[in-house]
Chains A and B, each alone.
Chain A
Amino acid sequence: MATTTAGSESVRSESPLPPVMLDGVTASFSRRGHEPVVAVRDLSFEISRGLIFCLLGPNGSGKTTTVNMICGLLAPKRGDIRVYGHSPSRERREVLRRLSVVPQETALYDSLTGRENLGFHAHYYGVPKGEVADRIARALDVVQLTDRQHDRVGTYSGGMQRRLALGRALLTAPDLLLLDEPTLGVDVQSRRAIWDRVRELADAGTSVLLTTNYMEEAEELADDIMIIDRGARVARGSLDELRAMVARQRLILHFPGSEAAQRAQATLAAQQQVNVRDSTLEVELDDPREALRLVGVINDRLSGLSEGPQRFEFKESNLQDVFLRFTGRELRD
């Protein structure tokens, strides 16, 4: 299969092996005077070719550690990692020939222009000399930075720097693209532009591993989502499959105070999945028709005390609901 990446013709290998395969991988960091921190715990997954696989997790969940292991910067303590059948720790060069990484930090030289950054990367990463100028021009075009190519990167906005980092990753026409939180801190327009480019790349046959903690990013891009927390897998599936793991709809009841909400929760707890936040009660529903019965029950119990719900609403469950269900509401630093 011949595909176009960053506009340049490159022949993708027909390897039957999956782009990425992790089998029971554990990674830990030793700390002087403390117990080792286990960053990734018995993680297993496989990425299919030409799809966008999303690692979704809160801060410190092990996403970047997983990326670092895949590109050979870290060796797992246990388990096996394969990139197109090659071990990143033992066959690092083979692995690095097949992939490109867009790291969390953009890793651009502020004192160099956008074009100079790309030129350095192309030569340093071994792009054939005769193709460098063409690939740079196409990469700049793809990430819509042709007009600013001669400006120093230090003058770029955060979004432009992220786009340039993506363009840089495309110079080597990778089979596998590792995007580590690629839209961190960028505005809506730049985020949309990056999403569009990533989707085009996947459609052209590039396999993508995306890490993010933005739900909308995963919803927009991911063909396959794995939610990880504290280094371990907590859920996996397509967006629809994940949403199916929680109730399709939620009934949200607003009470005059938190005590009333808690009394209503006590009324329903035995029958339903109920959450209370301040004066709001959320009830997960598998069948929307159940909602009227529940409102009736609550009104019967609380009407005598004038503490019935002031208003109620229905909401469709989204990925955030799934995420919070599996990772909880505890703050992560």
Chain B
Amino acid sequence: MLSATLAMVRKDLLATRRHPLFLVISVLVPVAFVFLYALIVQAATTIPLAVAQESHGPYSDRFVQTLQTMRSEDGKAWELHRMSPDKAAAAYRSGDVVGMLRIPASFDRDAAAGRAQVQLSVLNINSDISKNYQLRVEHAINAMHTQADPAHSVQIQEHPRWARDMSFSRYMGAGLLMFAIIYAAMVNTGNLVAREWEERTAKNVVLSPRGLMPLILGKWLTMFVQTVVSVALVVIALKFALHYPISRLGPATWGPIAMLVLYGAAFGVLLGTALRRSLVLVPVAAVLTLLHFLLVGFESYMRGYAHGGLVEVLWQSTRWWPVAAVTDQIRFAVEGLRPVQTIPQYMLWMAVLVVVLTAAAVRVLRTRLRFTQGQ
């Protein structure tokens, strides 16, 4: 059986090397996603601000210094552009800068008297952008007050669950990695199966006296090799676009990654046997994986925000789907943190899903093997 299995692997890898279209597709879609999210993450972390400092004194200098040093786990809060009031106003009017902060000439004098004001102008085309500017400026004012008069300021005692925040890019990176793994495994496996029908060779491969096992094992092994190649390329893209710490994908992540590969492959076999067309399979796989990414790739995100409306309905209806917990395992392991949910039961649940999907694929396969008039 080993020689028959290896024959299937060699044949499929040779065919893939000569026609690598679907391998390329299995890489391109997740890589495009990574770069798309790299843009979003960039926009959500460091925001630009034109600062027109008309007042110079201990209060205004401290305030600007506070703005300059503000940062989160994702990086600096502000990209400050200090300029004269006229230039700042012109840049804001022309749309070259989205936010402008004017520190009026009376600021230091007014601050000493306890009633200072700053003027924040925001091109409020998007409420999320406006909120970012408002919250960060307020935070800077509060920080300045705390430094200036610690005896009379209101302070927050934070009790985060973990020692430090998880960066947005790493949080996103785990979801994108899940997307890449499931999509690559689904497309590679589905294509390997569908191609036997497209090339009208299905009858010949099921007529071997070695039975169906070399066919099944061969396809799985080939899929594994192809998916390793696809995911490796996506991981490199994650490293460069999102600075994802790929060196931390250590042994604690291998089990969940392997389970996601098996899950995607089981879905791929089902799609391949049901659709029997590679080109149809690609968009179907993309939609299915995207649904996973949006519904369970951010499970912990939705848990925090699912209050009413469609989001809560979606969260309630998908929270039991184990892909979320398994993805979180990768997410937390990379950070060296203990995940919210215990993993073994979800790994078991994933294994059950893999078996169910594979059994469904075998059932469809048996139906499809009822050859009539050729194929």
Q: Does A120 make an interface contact (CB < 8 A)?
A: yes
Q: Does A104 make an interface contact (CB < 8 A)?
A: yes
A93 touches which of B8, B209, B371, B375 (Cβ 8 Å): B209
Q: Hey, what's the 0/1 contact readout for A42-63 against B, CB within 8 Å counting as 1?
A: 0000000000000000001000
Interface size in chain B (residues, C-beta < 8 A) = 32
A172 and B160 alpha carbons, distance in the complex (Å): 69
A125 and B209 alpha carbons, distance in the complex (Å): 6
Residues of A within 8 A of B348 (CB): none
Say how far A183's CB is from chain B's closest CB, in angstroms: 15
Stretch at the interface among A109-117, A216-224, A231-239, A304-312: A109-117
With A103-B203, A112-B15 in contact, do A64 and B374 touch (Cβ < 8 Å)? yes
Residues of A within 8 A of B10 (CB): 120
Residues of B within 8 A of A29 (CB): 370, 372
Q: Is the CB of A111 within 8 A of B200?
A: no
Q: Is the CB of A112 within 8 A of B11?
A: yes
Residue of A93, A97, A107, A121 with highest tally of chain B CB at under 10 A: A107
Q: Does A129 make an interface contact (CB < 8 A)?
A: yes
Q: Is the CB of A109 within 8 A of B209?
A: no
Closest B residue by C-beta to A59:
B373
Q: Hey, what's the 0/1 contact readout for A126-163 against B, CB within 8 Å counting as 1?
A: 10010000000000000000000000000000000000
Q: Does B24 make an interface contact (CB < 8 A)?
A: no
Q: Is the CB of B372 within 8 A of A124?
A: no
Q: Does A89 make an interface contact (CB < 8 A)?
A: no
B4 touches which of A60, A71, A104, A126 (Cβ 8 Å): A126
A121 and B4 alpha carbons, distance in the complex (Å): 9
A97 and B207 alpha carbons, distance in the complex (Å): 10
Say how far B355's CB is from chain A's closest CB, in angstroms: 24
Q: How many A-B pairs fall under 8 Å by CB? A: 91
Say how far B14's CB is from chain A's closest CB, in angstroms: 6
A104 and B199 alpha carbons, distance in the complex (Å): 13
A104 and B372 alpha carbons, distance in the complex (Å): 11
Say how far A25's CB is from chain B's closest CB, in angstroms: 16
Q: Is the CB of B3 within 8 A of A125?
A: no
Q: Is the CB of B3 within 8 A of A103?
A: no
Q: Is the CB of A60 within 8 A of B373?
A: yes
Say how far B142's CB is from chain A's closest CB, in angstroms: 66
Q: Is the CB of A105 within 8 A of B200?
A: yes
Residues of B within 8 A of A111 (CB): 14-15, 18-19
A161 and B372 alpha carbons, distance in the complex (Å): 22
Q: Does B155 make an interface contact (CB < 8 A)?
A: no
Q: Does B205 make an interface contact (CB < 8 A)?
A: yes
Q: Does A39 make an interface contact (CB < 8 A)?
A: yes
B374 touches which of A105, A120, A124 (Cβ 8 Å): A105
Residues of B within 8 A of A108 (CB): 199, 201
Q: Does A244 make an interface contact (CB < 8 A)?
A: no
Residues of A within 8 A of B313 (CB): none
Closest B residue by C-beta to A73:
B371
Q: Is the CB of B209 within 8 A of A96?
A: yes
Q: Does A291 make an interface contact (CB < 8 A)?
A: no
Q: Is the CB of A73 within 8 A of B15?
A: no
With A109-B15, A120-B7, A124-B7 in contact, do A65 and B201 touch (Cβ < 8 Å)? no
Q: Hey, what's the 0/1 contact readout for B334-375 against A, CB within 8 Å counting as 1?
A: 000000000000000000000000000000000001111111
A123 and B3 alpha carbons, distance in the complex (Å): 6
Q: Is the CB of A65 within 8 A of B203?
A: no
Q: Does A8 make an interface contact (CB < 8 A)?
A: no
Say how far A101's CB is from chain B's closest CB, in angstroms: 6
A95 and B195 alpha carbons, distance in the complex (Å): 27
B3 touches which of A74, A116, A121, A126 (Cβ 8 Å): A126
Q: Does A68 make an interface contact (CB < 8 A)?
A: yes
A184 and B372 alpha carbons, distance in the complex (Å): 17
With A109-B15, A111-B18, A124-B205 in contact, do A39 and B214 touch (Cβ < 8 Å)? no
Q: Hey, what's the 0/1 contact readout for B1-44 against A, CB within 8 Å counting as 1?
A: 00110111011001100110000000000000000000000000
Residues of B within 8 A of A105 (CB): 200, 203, 374-375
Q: Does B126 make an interface contact (CB < 8 A)?
A: no
A210 and B18 alpha carbons, distance in the complex (Å): 35
B14 touches which of A39, A112, A123 (Cβ 8 Å): A112
A119 and B372 alpha carbons, distance in the complex (Å): 28
Q: Is the CB of A68 within 8 A of B208?
A: no
A1 and B272 alpha carbons, distance in the complex (Å): 46
A65 touches which of B204, B207, B208, B372 (Cβ 8 Å): B372
Residues of A within 8 A of B373 (CB): 60, 64-65, 104
Q: Is the CB of A68 within 8 A of B371?
A: yes
Q: Is the CB of A71 within 8 A of B207?
A: yes
A60 and B214 alpha carbons, distance in the complex (Å): 33
Q: Does B131 make an interface contact (CB < 8 A)?
A: no
Say how far A119's CB is from chain B's closest CB, in angstroms: 8
A113 and B206 alpha carbons, distance in the complex (Å): 21
A73 touches which of B7, B199, B206, B211 (Cβ 8 Å): B206
List residues 211-258 of chain B with CB under 8 A from any CB of chain A.
211, 214
The 8 listed contacts between A and B (C-beta, < 8 Å) are A68-B372, A96-B209, A101-B204, A105-B375, A107-B203, A110-B199, A111-B15, A123-B4
14 additional A-B residue pairs with CB within 8 Å, beyond A68-B371, A124-B4: A93-B211, A96-B207, A97-B209, A101-B204, A104-B373, A104-B374, A106-B200, A107-B201, A108-B199, A109-B199, A111-B14, A111-B15, A123-B7, A126-B209
6 tightest CB-CB pairs across the interface, nearest first?
A123-B7, A107-B204, A96-B209, A105-B200, A104-B374, A120-B11
